[in-house]
């Protein structure tokens, strides 16, 4: 148990969400939130939606827009609340029903599972926070729609596969990025779209939070993909997009810690996807559909499809450590995972060209290798696939090395996996929210990947 947790909660009993505002300037719409760790400091983080390349068909500050921004604030505040985990959150800029409060509490609980686990915090759903609210809530009043689909692009293989599947809808697609990086722009261009097709946003963390972290206040993982979801919905509203098309795979549903409900990817899970769709229906008039086009598939199937999309191989990057330099760092669990999951489908030479070295020959990655293959209590806390998928990829890669008569790389010499790859390449997850008119794309992809088996 972390004794600092209870000490902080006693010293800081309340956290307040006091308000939010949206202002349109020359560059775009800047949203500012007003949070406070009462008696300690205030936080005023900002998010800007750049609009110079966009046709806005809905008012950026209408009651409908404000209802989305209020919700965005409710998930943004978690990043600031977690510094001291006050037992009470006071929402002073909107009233929540008991059902609403429970909805937010569930998201925070699921999204903070890793935070509690890694900070050795012992708490439970009932007692970790109480939400109180007052004031008037913005009320949805409708919006105009343009028939556009908005695709969040993260720079990795998954969103690249989604863009490739939707190639025949280029005239109806816009892409959406948060704190844009080169791999994201290059991925959009490789898909045959233009830079002007990107809805760019910039999210700036309040410096007061960074100062608290330097002082030793609590820090850790929050449900970032939920922030992306609500910010994406605000952008969708501005341009009238009626589909927010994600690239989250079925693998995101697996817990990160064996036997516990701790999932690094909780806000990428199908459970959260369902919850957010219910929220959209209840609070946003059901104006947009929030779904993952890749939910039917696992990481191996997505890797198999991506391996054939050569135009993306020189531009994709999903390494968090190297993202600012637009490189694969080659030293982290995410790099090793992507290398492994692609290894049955690309040659060692192709992989070394992408990652800069043979990551299966790296002794310094052994601990991550052990975690990815399920030989430790938890998987690495990254967006990685299931233990079964990793072992199936390694089993097949090892088989290929032996069949060629090549020397096994270091990490495969003592590896003795026996997970067959064929069953995973022929899986199809029926738990998805894909609209009927998009199912032809999933059938196209399934036919391709299952044919490889």
Q: pLDDT tens digit string along 55-72?
A: 999 999 999 999 999 999
221-227 mean pLDDT: 97
* Judgement on whether residues 214 and 363 belong to the same structural domain of the protein: no
Examine residue 446 and state whether it is found in any structural domain, yes or no.
no
Q: Which of 276, 274, 299 is nearest to 379 (CA)?
A: 299
Q: 115: which 2 tokens?
A: 């935070």
Examine residue 198 and state whether it is found in any structural domain, yes or no.
yes
Examine residue 432 and state whether it is found in any structural domain, yes or no.
no
* Judgement on whether residues 323 and 347 belong to the same structural domain of the protein: yes
* Judgement on whether residues 288 and 198 belong to the same structural domain of the protein: yes
* Judgement on whether residues 49 and 169 belong to the same structural domain of the protein: yes
* Judgement on whether residues 277 and 374 belong to the same structural domain of the protein: no
Residue 217: pLDDT over 80 = yes
Structurally, how many domains does the chain consist of? 2
Examine residue 434 and state whether it is found in any structural domain, yes or no.
no
Task: Write out the DSSP string of 324-341.
Answer: GGTS--SSSHHHHHHHHH
* Judgement on whether residues 376 and 307 belong to the same structural domain of the protein: yes
Determine the Cα–Cα distance for residues 220 and 79; give it in Å rounded to an integer: 9
* Judgement on whether residues 251 and 334 belong to the same structural domain of the protein: no
Confidence band for 314, pLDDT divided at 50, 70 and 90:
very high
Out of 270, 292, 314, pick the residue that ends a domain.
Answer: 292
* Judgement on whether residues 35 and 114 belong to the same structural domain of the protein: yes
Examine residue 445 and state whether it is found in any structural domain, yes or no.
no
Residue 1: pLDDT over 80 = no
The separation between the first and the last C-alpha atoms of the chain, rounded to the nearest angstrom, is 48
Segments forming the whole domain that contains residue 326: 299-427
Examine residue 240 and state whether it is found in any structural domain, yes or no.
yes
* Judgement on whether residues 363 and 242 belong to the same structural domain of the protein: no
State if pTM tops 0.85: yes
* Judgement on whether residues 307 and 364 belong to the same structural domain of the protein: yes
Question: What's the chain's average pLDDT?
Answer: 96
* Judgement on whether residues 239 and 339 belong to the same structural domain of the protein: no
Examine residue 442 and state whether it is found in any structural domain, yes or no.
no
Determine the Cα–Cα distance for residues 173 and 196; give it in Å rounded to an integer: 11
Q: 152: which 2 tokens?
A: 């969040």
Q: 373: which 2 tokens?
A: 């293959």
* Judgement on whether residues 321 and 287 belong to the same structural domain of the protein: no
């Amino acid at each position: 148990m972390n004794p600092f947790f209870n000490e902080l909660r006693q010293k800081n009993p309340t956290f307040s969400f006091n308000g939010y505002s949206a202002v349109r300037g020359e560059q775009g719409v800047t949203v500012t939130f007003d949070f406070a760790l009462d008696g300690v400091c205030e936080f005023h983080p900002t998010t800007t939606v750049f609009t110079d390349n966009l046709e806005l068909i809905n008012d950026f500050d209408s009651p409908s827009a404000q209802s989305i921004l209020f919700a965005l604030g409710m998930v943004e505040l978690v990043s600031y609340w977690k510094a001291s985990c006050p037992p009470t959150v006071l929402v002073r800029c909107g009233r929540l029903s008991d059902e609403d409060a429970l909805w937010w509490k569930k998201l925070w609980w699921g999204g903070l599972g890793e935070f509690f686990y890694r900070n050795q915090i012992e708490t439970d759903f009932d007692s970790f926070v109480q939400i109180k609210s007052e004031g008037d809530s913005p009320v949805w009043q409708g919006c105009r729609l343009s028939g556009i689909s908005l695709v969040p692009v993260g720079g990795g293989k998954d969103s690249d596969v989604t863009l490739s599947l939707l190639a025949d809808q280029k005239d109806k697609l816009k892409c959406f990025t948060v704190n844009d990086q080169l791999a994201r722009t290059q991925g959009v261009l490789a898909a045959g779209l233009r830079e002007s097709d990107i809805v760019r946003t910039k999210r700036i963390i309040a410096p007061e939070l960074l100062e608290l972290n330097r002082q030793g206040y609590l820090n850790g993982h929050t449900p970032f993909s939920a922030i992306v979801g609500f910010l994406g919905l605000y952008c969708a509203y501005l341009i009238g997009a009626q589909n927010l098309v994600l690239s989250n795979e079925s693998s995101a549903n697996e817990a990160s810690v064996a036997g516990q409900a701790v999932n690094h990817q909780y806000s990428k899970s199908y459970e959260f996807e369902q919850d957010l769709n219910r929220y959209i229906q209840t609070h946003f008039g059901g104006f947009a559909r929030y779904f993952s086009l890749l939910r039917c598939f696992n990481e191996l199937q997505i890797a198999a499809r991506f391996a054939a999309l050569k135009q993306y191989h020189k531009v994709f990057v999903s390494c968090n450590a190297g993202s600012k330099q637009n490189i694969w760092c080659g030293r982290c669990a995410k790099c090793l995972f992507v290398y492994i999951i692609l290894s049955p489908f690309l040659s060692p030479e192709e992989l070394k060209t992408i990652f800069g070295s043979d990551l299966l020959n790296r002794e310094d990655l052994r601990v991550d290798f052990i975690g990815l293959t399920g030989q430790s209590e938890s998987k690495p806390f990254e967006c990685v696939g299931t233990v079964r998928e990793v072992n199936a990829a390694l089993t097949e890669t090892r088989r290929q090395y032996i069949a060629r008569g090549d020397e096994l790389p270091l990490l495969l010499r003592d590896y003795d996996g026996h997970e067959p790859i064929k069953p995973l390449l022929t899986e199809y997850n029926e738990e998805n929210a894909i609209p009927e008119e998009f199912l032809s794309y999933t059938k196209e992809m399934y036919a391709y990947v299952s044919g490889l088996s």
